[in-house]
Amino acid sequence: MARGGRHDEIMVRCRETARECDDRIEVKNDARKRPTKRRASGRRRRSPAAAATAPSPVEPLQLHDELGSTVKILGTKYLEQDFTLLDILNPAASKGAGVAAAAAELGATREEIMAIGDNYNDLEMLLFAGTGVVMANAPLSLREIAGLHPTASNKDDGVALAIERFILTPPQSINQ
């Protein structure tokens, strides 16, 4: 279903920004071309032949040195899953900017917004929201930021608990 107007304008700008980033970042040995197998968890695993020819992992600092200020790079290591997430963004892009734009479009104030996050790419959004909630499975340095409210982990229904506490519970009951 087409929304038209402002939504289409925003989507066009997002696509243009993505194309500009694609033009600036040269991707060697494109991972989409490597043979993969699915793990039971649903994550892809490279075949032994692909793993043998795969380039060594690139660290966020190395990428930052190569790309400079043309992108913003956020890296998070998930030790339990043996997984590292790299967010490579336009320097002006963030979840916080997205939430601020949506709030302005909807006429919502920061105090009316609750944001829930578990990663560094959520930080600007958490700080923008009137109620920023950080998951227990977030990195320790993110959980220690003053002004953010803790909740349980993803596995322990942290989002549901935050919604119950900050949205479904009447305000006078929260302070008791």
Q: Which domain holds residue 45?
A: 5-25+32-70
Q: Is residue 48 part of a domain?
A: yes
CB count within 10 Å of CB 47 equals 11
Structural domain includes residue 89:
no
Same domain for 54 and 103?
A: no
pLDDT on residue 70: 84
For residues 154 and 112, membership in a common domain is answered with yes
Phi first, then psi, for residue 152 (nearest 5°) are: -70, 175
Query: 62 lies in a domain?
Result: yes
Q: Do 99 and 140 belong together in one domain?
A: yes
Q: Say yes or no: 107 and 56 in one domain.
A: no
| Cβ(169)–Cβ(162) below 8 Å | no
Q: Which of 57, 100, 97 is nearest to 77 (CA)?
A: 57
Question: Phi then psi for 103, rounded to 5 degrees?
Answer: -65, -45
Q: Which long-range contacts (CB under 8 A, 24 or more apart) does 148-151 make?
A: 151/116
Regarding whether 165 and 112 lie in a shared domain, the answer is yes
Q: What is the pLDDT along the chain (176 residues), one digit of tens a residue?
A: 444 565 566 555 655 555 554 444 434 334 444 444 444 445 555 455 544 444 445 555 676 677 777 888 777 777 777 888 788 888 888 899 999 999 999 999 999 999 999 988 899 999 999 999 999 999 899 999 999 999 999 999 999 999 999 999 877 655 55
104 touches 126 (CB < 8 A) = no
* 9, 40, 50, 77, 153 from 45: Cα distances, Å: 38, 10, 10, 18, 26
The verdict on residue 82 lying in a domain is no
144 and 100 in a common domain:
yes
Domain with 125 in it: what CATH number?
A: 3.40.50.1000
Would residue 103 count as lying in a domain? yes
| Full-model pTM | 0.59
Residue 81 domain flag:
no
Structural domain contains residue 131: yes
Domain match, 57 and 116 both:
no
Number of domains in the chain: 2
pLDDT at 104: 95
60 and 99 part of one domain: no
Task: Answer yes or no: do 165 and 102 share one domain.
Answer: yes
* 3-class SS of residue 176: coil
Residues 150, 129, 78, CA angle at the centre, nearest 5°?
50
Q: Is residue 77 in some structural domain?
A: no
CA distance 99 to 130: 12
